[in-house]
């Protein structure tokens, strides 16, 4: 089965603390009628530090959408390669072993995608498939894992590279003064993550089943209003309540796999905020400690969008992993309202399976599908 290996994660060098965020909010919005509420909400996020690609003084300026998007591209090209190299090393692979790159980001736009630049700049083969995912927001980390799982199930000898690049600070809009916008200003941070899904071999989560769930009539709860000034993030006050309809979807997928979602060995979920984690703990009937990796990401980095699930998984690896065959769940939540869910068990690679064994003399690289799984991609 495909194995999700240890992610590599990097956050920028510029740090802003909770105290600095609160002071800025007081200075910038001293006359805001709901400032006390905004300050309380920001403090309740539990976010102690966030990392930004620019100093806060530059982050607060708005030179225009064109300049911001140009900065996104420059910073992505400067920062992503090192993370990709670390992720490949974690999986004992090289660029030549990768069959597909899934690049996820909702905080900047490039066409051709960053995938094309990576292929040209880092030695990936010219026939590497490209799957950019741009409009699933925070759920895209889970979606990328699921699409990589699908691909490596259909092509069992293939390997997939997932890259998440989120510079949320480039979406700061000084004229957006709603409570949701003020809360977002104290919640989101910048980060890059990458991970490999190996079709064969590897230590990590052996992916067994995945699924998606869309909560009806919630498209406008998390969204972008795209204007001349860029992406304006819209966050509805009902978003924190979404675990009540989404928790049953997690339970149903686990039940279809013969598992009890309340009785698993590890949980890696997107930490949109503490209320999300608290409610999920309640509705799944699992102790709050089950989401300690997601809470750590939220506390130290803030909400880094699609990169959260990969960073939380990295923290599980850093803790030493879990016993062989331990069962777990991964989930990303985002606009839609959408959940992307994965199930799998922990596996250790004791045999160091060959990195890439496809016979390219007989078939195009990575194109020999499993007959029963071919329709997944």
Assign 164 a pLDDT band (cuts: 50, 70, 90). very high
pLDDT band at 358; cut points 50, 70, 90: very low
For range 246-274, the mean pLDDT: 95
pLDDT for residue 237? 84
* More confident: 220 or 70: 70
Lowest-confidence pick of 117-131, 200-214, 222-236, 275-289? 222-236
Per residue, what are the HEC states of the chain? CCEECCCEEECCCEEEEHHHHHHHHHHHCCCCCCHHHHHHHHHHCCCCEEEECCCHHHHCCCCCHHHHHHHHHHHHHHHHHHHHHHHHHHCCCCHHHCCEEEEECCCCCCCCCHHHHHHHHHCCCCCCEEEEECCCHHHHHHHHHHHHHHHHHHCCCCEEEEEEEEEHHHHCCCCCCCHHHHHHHCCECEEEEEEEEECCCCCEEEEEEEEEEEEEEECCCEEEEEECCEEEEEECCCHHHCHHHHHHHHHHHHHHCCCCCCCCCEEEECCCCHHHHHHHHHHHCCCHHHHHHHHHHHHHHCECHHHHHHHHHHHHHHCCCCCCCCEEEEEEEECEEEEEEEEEEEECCCCCCCCCCCCCCCCCCCCCCCCCCHHHC
The per-residue pLDDT for 224 is 84
pLDDT one-digit tens code per residue, 107-121:
999 999 999 999 999
Mean pLDDT, all residues of the chain: 91
pLDDT beyond 50 at 367: no
Question: What pLDDT is recorded for position 351?
Answer: 61
The pLDDT of residue 355 is: 43
Sequence spans of domains, the chain: 1-360
Q: What pTM value is reported for the model?
A: 0.90
What gap in Å lies between CA 121 and CA 124, rounded to an integer? 8
Convert the pLDDT of each residue in 337-356 to its tens digit: 999 999 999 999 876 443 44
Please determine, for residue 375, whether its predicted confidence score (pLDDT) is greater than 50. no
Indicate if the pLDDT at residue 33 is higher than 60.
yes
What's the pLDDT tens digit per position in 52-79?
999 999 999 999 999 999 999 999 999 9
Q: Is the pLDDT of residue 373 over 80?
A: no
What is 1-360's CATH number?
3.40.47.10
Distance from C-alpha of 24 to C-alpha of 278, rounded to nearest angstrom = 28
Catalytic residue numbers, as ranges: 138
* Mean pLDDT within 151-167: 97
């Amino acid at each position: 089965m495909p194995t999700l290996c240890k992610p590599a994660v990097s956050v920028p060098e510029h740090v802003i603390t909770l105290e600095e965020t609160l002071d800025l909010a007081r200075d910038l919005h001293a006359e805001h009628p709901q400032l006390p509420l905004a300050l309380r909400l920001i403090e309740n996020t539990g976010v102690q530090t966030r990392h930004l690609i620019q100093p806060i003084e530059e982050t607060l300026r708005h030179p225009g959408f064109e300049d911001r998007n140009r900065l996104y591209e420059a910073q992505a090209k400067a920062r992503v390669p090192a993370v990709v190299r670390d992720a490949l090393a974690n999986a004992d692979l090289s660029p030549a072993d990768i069959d597909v790159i899934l690049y996820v980001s909702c905080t900047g736009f490039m066409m051709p995608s960053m995938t094309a630049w990576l292929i040209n700049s880092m030695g990936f083969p010219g026939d590497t498939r490209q799957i950019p995912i741009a409009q699933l927001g925070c759920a895209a980390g889970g979606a990328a894992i699921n699409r990589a799982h699908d691909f490596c199930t259909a092509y069992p000898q293939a390997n997939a590279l997932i890259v998440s690049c989120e510079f949320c600070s480039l979406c700061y809009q000084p004229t957006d003064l709603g409570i949701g916008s003020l809360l977002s200003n104290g919640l989101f941070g910048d980060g890059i993550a990458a991970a490999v899904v190996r079709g064969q071999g590897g230590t990590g989560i052996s992916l067994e089943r995945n699924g998606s769930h869309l909560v009806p009539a919630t498209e406008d709860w998390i969204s972008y209003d795209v204007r001349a000034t860029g992406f304006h993030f819209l966050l509805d006050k009902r978003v924190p309540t979404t675990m009540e309809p989404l928790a049953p979807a997690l339970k149903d997928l686990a039940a279809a796999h013969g598992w009890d979602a309340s009785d698993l060995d590890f949980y890696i979920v997107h930490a949109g905020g503490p209320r999300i984690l608290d409610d999920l703990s309640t509705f799944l009937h699992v102790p709050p400690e089950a989401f300690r990796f997601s809470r750590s990401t939220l506390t130290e980095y803030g909400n880094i969008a699609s990169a959260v699930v990969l960073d939380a998984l990295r923290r599980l690896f850093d803790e030493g992993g879990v016993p062989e065959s331990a069962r777990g769940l991964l989930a990303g939540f985002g606009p839609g309202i959408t959940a992307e869910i994965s199930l799998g068990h922990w596996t250790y690679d004791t045999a160091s399976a060959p990195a890439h064994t496809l016979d390219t003399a007989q078939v195009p690289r990575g194109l020999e599908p499993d007959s029963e799984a071919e329709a997944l991609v």
